[in-house]
A = this chain, B = another copy of it.
């Protein structure tokens, strides 16, 4: 079966997020004053072939842990949808 995997990679709590802070710092100058706590992460999507939704999910989680994220600085949220 075909699944669509979507992985949200976010900076871990407590780890500085230079990208987010830089955006946040520049917002007031651009007239966006009402925003706070900007965090920038990554969004990874792909199609995956697996026997079942469970199998797809565990495959994607394995990819996440071994390769797609670095647990020292990142957290991941995995979503797998049948297509």
Given known pairs A32-B59, A34-B48, A49-B34, the reply for A42 and B43 (CB within 8 Å) is: yes
A residues contacting the other copy or chain, number (CB 8 A): 32
8 A-B pairs (CB sep. < 8 Å): A5-B35, A9-B43, A23-B44, A27-B63, A32-B67, A37-B46, A37-B47, A40-B43
Contact with B along A28-59 (1 / 0, CB 8 A): 00101011111111111111111000000001
Whether A38 pairs with B44 at a CB distance below 8 angstroms is: yes
Residues of A within 8 A of B (CB): 5, 8-10, 20, 23-24, 27, 30, 32, 34-50, 59, 63, 66-68
Whether B9 pairs with A34 at a CB distance below 8 angstroms is: no
